[in-house]
Amino acid sequence: MLTLKYQRLEQRLGYSFSDQRQLQLALTHRSHGASNNERLEFLGDSILNFIIGEALFKRLPDAREGQLSRLRSQIVKGDTLALLAREFELGDCLILGEGELKSGGKSRDSILADSVEAIIGAIYLESGLDLCRERVLTWFAPRLNELSANTSAKDPKSRLQEYMQSQRQPLPEYTVVEVGGEGHAQVFTIECRVALAKQTTRATASNRREAEKQAAALMLSQLKID
């Protein structure tokens, strides 16, 4: 018999397990003991890749193999799965060993992502591919709807760096031009400079990393790189 918090998790998942021990197993980290979710995670990872790959194949008939692979990697990567787990409030339901519990395992991205894959594996074993596909596509619908064949899986900084390397040019330089605001409300202005562009680009954001990404995006635009 599952407690109320697990019943609420089933409501958020949109799926009720007939054998609730499968849900408990899917939520059990290896730190808790030999009976854990690692095998379900392995299965769920394979099924997730298939379902998302199939969905992209059907949605983007003109996309090339490389584009489809890139988009699938973007959707099923650990960061995305961890975000989905947080939307389900999965952390409160995880079954962890004492050490992992004390060290903040309930909020660790890798553990959250693995648990989502394990749940997918558990649903597949209990109800088969069709129902599992329906649940996964419902969970990922907002992310799938945002994609097109030209969506980049890499952030602007990575794309700019790779482009400069492909042109045998020095890597981009990022300089903090100004730091404004106070305490938690600081804003950073970053300048991006590359050898192939006469003009630098600047961007301002609430943290340095985001400002660098925005400055890189502006540079990509200036260089006319899609």
55 confidence band (pLDDT: 50, 70, 90) = very high
Give residues with Cβ within 8 angstroms of 123, minimum separation 6: 15, 17, 131, 132, 135
Tokens of 157: 């900084």
Q: Give the pTM.
A: 0.67
Which pLDDT belongs to residue 176? 94
126-135 pLDDT per residue, tens: 999 999 999 9
3-state class (DSSP) for residue 150: coil
Is domain 4-145 given the CATH code 1.10.1520.10 in the classification? yes
Task: Rounding to the nearest 10 degrees, give the CA dihedral for residues 64, 67, 73, 74.
Answer: -140
Give residues with Cβ within 8 angstroms of 22, minimum separation 6: 122, 125, 126
- For this structure, is 117 an active site residue? yes
- Span(s) in the chain for CATH 3.30.160.20: 156-222
- Binding-site positions: 41, 114, 117
Among 45, 54, 79, 92, the active-site one is 45
- Span(s) in the chain for CATH 1.10.1520.10: 4-145
State the pairing for strand pair 173-180/187-193. antiparallel
Which pLDDT belongs to residue 193? 96
Q: What is the CATH number of domain 156-222?
A: 3.30.160.20
- For this structure, is 100 an active site residue? no
3-state class (DSSP) for residue 226: coil
168-183 pLDDT per residue, tens: 999 999 999 998 876 6
